[in-house]
Amino acid sequence: MRIARRAQRIEPFYVMEVAKAAASLAKQVAHSAQPMIFLNIGEPDFTAPPLVQQAATRAIHDGNTQYTQATGLQSLRERISHWYSTRFQADVAPSRIVITAGASAALQLACLALIEAGDDILMPDPSYPCNRHFVSATEGNAVLIPTTAQERFQLSSAKVQAAWAAQTRGVLLASPSNPTGTSIAPQELRRIHEFVHSRGGITLIDEIYLGLSYEEDFGHTALAMGDGLGESIISINSFSKYFNMTGWRLGWLVVPEKLAPVIERIAQNLFICPSTIAQHAALACFEADSLAEYEKRRAEFKARRDYFIPALNRLGLQVPVMPDGAFYAYADCTQAAARLGVSGSWDFAFELMQRAHLAVTPGRDFGTDAPERYVRFSTASSMAELKEAVARLETVLG
């Protein structure tokens, strides 16, 4: 059987390979004094709040389970539009919003609509691996540009300009980012977009962690960019992270008005529509009680960050930039690996798995610029689990 070249361009998702090994070991140690702690997957430990669950049940009971428009329920698009207005002071018309089967489908639709074979898309290194694989799947080239801690592991306008070439189509950014939890400073993001826009390029930005921002200087959607620049931004978002609906597979895409019919046409053919039940449930995300609950949870995520990052630094797992959002710690494991007699983040991750029954993600997934130096911890687990993880690290690392 001949495998298509586009499929061969997709690299393994190593975080899932680590997860499989951790799950196998977890069965063996489940009833031991140290059952497995999973800090490797970026999934909130919270589930959808009560009103959201009730809305899903009601939709099933009332028979609201048939196809919707490919762009999603108009009422949901309107509520998202209102959320942008009240939370971010951004004017985003419902007609620019397309509901999708998760942020993954949103990015797939954007890539299919905008990227030709051979187009270059500039991305920061490190960055979330699936983002670059969506570019590869549409036969574009994800061009990873090394970034530094001083740059918050984000692209700068200067680096974008230096890397821009005849075949460059645009940039794909993430703010806050996975794996670093860092955001692009608003003025730097504006400079990037101004340059890209002047070249007739596209600015795609993954904002799925935007609701989980903790610092006043960040947490601003690119869609609120002034002078009409926000209207040419393409933003990917999701109900998975801030809204705690991971397995419901629901997200959305915000596009320029003229692109919306193109996205709709592709979505009609590829997906028909997102899950109708999930859409009806998501309407309840924007009820006052649900939003209040989400803000309590955001405060809890911040408290976990504020506990865990200093603990890692104290143990020699240096986090070079304090995350301003999301729920990750991107830590330099060079010293810690040496203490365990291993070299590199891959071996360090498996050593921790064996010695401390602690699953973390090695840097291999996130880029090619010194991935052996870094591991990613997820702080999406409970405070109790994070404290236990720190205790085990103290025992193992000394």
Q: In whole angstroms, what separates CA 194 from the centre of its chain?
A: 24
Instruction: Give me the mean pLDDT over the 50-68 stretch.
Output: 98
Instruction: Give me the mean pLDDT over the 343-361 stretch.
Output: 96
Instruction: Give me the mean pLDDT over the 355-382 stretch.
Output: 95
Beta strands in the chain (DSSP E): 37-38, 97-100, 120-125, 141-146, 168-174, 202-206, 233-238, 251-254, 328-332, 358-359, 361-362, 374-378
13 has pLDDT over 80:
no
Cβ atoms 174, 127 nearer than 8 A: yes
The confidence band for 393, taking pLDDT boundaries of 50, 70 and 90, is very high
Please report which helix (H) or strand (E) contains residue 45, including its range.
Answer: none
DSSP character string of 282-309? HHGGGSHHHHHHHHHHHHHHHHHHHHHH
| Model pLDDT for residues 209-255, shown as the tens digit of each residue | 999 999 999 999 999 999 999 999 999 999 999 999 999 999 999 99
Instruction: Give me the mean pLDDT over the 364-377 stretch.
Output: 95
Alpha carbon distances (Å) from 287 to 1, 56, 79, 120, 283: 52, 14, 10, 41, 8
Nearest-angstrom CA–CA distance, 177 and 328: 9
The confidence score (pLDDT) of residue 4 equals 87
| Model pLDDT for residues 171-199, shown as the tens digit of each residue | 999 999 999 999 999 999 999 999 999 99
Nearest-angstrom CA–CA distance, 207 and 157: 19
Cβ atoms 379, 44 nearer than 8 A: no
Nearest-angstrom CA–CA distance, 52 and 285: 6
Q: Which of 19-23, 69-73, 141-145, 149-153 has the lowest mean pLDDT?
A: 19-23
Nearest-angstrom CA–CA distance, 15 and 366: 10
| Model pLDDT for residues 267-279, shown as the tens digit of each residue | 999 999 999 999 9
| Model pLDDT for residues 89-109, shown as the tens digit of each residue | 999 999 999 999 999 999 999
The confidence score (pLDDT) of residue 15 equals 77
| Model pLDDT for residues 311-332, shown as the tens digit of each residue | 999 999 999 999 999 999 999 9
Q: What is the pTM of this model?
A: 0.95
